[in-house]
């Protein structure tokens, strides 16, 4: 796989789970990694684990002022973000009858609007520097499966897929590729302490390849999409769930 040496990658929601695995993998491939999360202490710990010049910058992706401050500091401490991984999200477990407007707006604000806010800031700065870039959005295979107890989440992640396609169309002329991944159920820190942890046996029955999905399975694919080997791929949604959903 092509090296990421000389590149700077920003990973949101990187204090644990999939985001942490992505940050670690991109650093191993040579990138300078910016670890961002609302959990400032968790981000600092990930940076300590990674080393390799990684930087921790906390931010709330649903707050434009916080995101601008994130990129201002990133620009001051690096040569600017070349690769953006929109990973941060809230993963709820709420039955439809309990979904009210407040819950809906919270999930959309972080999982969809947050992806827009960070992408807006990142791609504006990429174009200002006149350098090619990568935007990699972490969606979810729940969009294909219509998973219960996650109505707002499924809607938001479906929106991320649509946003990915539209953004790829607009930014291709600037050498910026935009792709999405749809992970299946992953044995991440958050999942292990949620009701979703009880679904692995059922999901395993549906998978073509058996076993529990791990954060590293997603990080491997992100590393490919961030590399020059993926320079001719854009506007795509890559399903990474051991063949649970076949489409």
Q: Express each pLDDT in 163-192 by its tens digit.
A: 999 999 999 999 999 999 999 888 877 877
Q: What's the whole-number average pLDDT of the chain? A: 95
Do 3 and 29 touch, CB atoms closer than 8 A? Answer: yes
Map tokens 């204090």 to a residue: 15
pLDDT score at 1:
58
Q: The domain at 8-238 falls in which architecture?
A: 3-Layer(aba) Sandwich (3.40)
pTM of the model: 0.95
Give the count of alpha carbons within 13 A of 143, CB side only: 21
CA distance 228 to 179: 14
CA distance 67 to 61: 6
pLDDT score at 26:
97
pLDDT score at 125:
98
28 is catalytic: no
The more confident residue out of 200 and 70 is 70
**Domain ranges (residues) in the chain:** 8-238
What percentage of residues in the chain have a pLDDT greater than 70? Answer: 99
Span 208-235, pLDDT tens digits: 899 998 999 999 999 999 999 999 999 9
Catalytic residue among 143, 144, 153, 163: 153
CB burial of 72-93 (b: ≥16 within 10 Å; e: otherwise) equals: ebbeeebebbbbbbbbbbbbbe
């Amino acid at each position: 796989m092509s090296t990421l040496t000389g590149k700077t990658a920003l990973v949101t929601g990187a204090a644990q789970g999939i985001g942490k695995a992505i940050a670690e993998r991109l650093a191993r491939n040579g990138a300078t990694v910016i670890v961002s999360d609302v959990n400032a202490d968790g981000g600092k710990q990930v940076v300590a684990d990674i080393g390799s010049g990684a930087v921790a910058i906390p931010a709330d992706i649903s707050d434009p002022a916080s995101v601008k401050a994130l990129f201002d500091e990133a620009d001051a401490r690096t040569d600017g973000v070349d690769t953006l991984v929109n990973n941060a999200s809230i993963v709820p477990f709420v039955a439809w009858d309990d979904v009210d407007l407040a819950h809906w707006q919270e999930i959309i604000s972080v999982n969809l609007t947050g992806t827009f806010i960070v992408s807006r800031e990142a791609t504006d700065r990429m174009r200002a520097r006149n350098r090619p870039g990568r935007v990699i959005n972490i969606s979810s295979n729940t969009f294909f499966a219509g998973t219960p107890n996650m109505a707002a989440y499924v809607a938001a992640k479906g929106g991320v897929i649509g946003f990915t396609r539209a953004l790829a169309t607009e930014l291709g002329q600037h050498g910026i590729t935009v792709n999405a991944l749809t992970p299946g159920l992953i044995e991440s820190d958050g999942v292990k302490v949620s009701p979703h942890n009880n679904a692995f046996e059922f999901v395993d029955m549906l998978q073509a390849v058996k076993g529990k999905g791990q954060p590293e399975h997603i990080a491997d694919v992100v590393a490919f999409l961030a590399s020059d080997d993926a320079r001719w791929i854009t506007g795509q949604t890559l399903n990474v769930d051991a063949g649970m959903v076949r489409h």
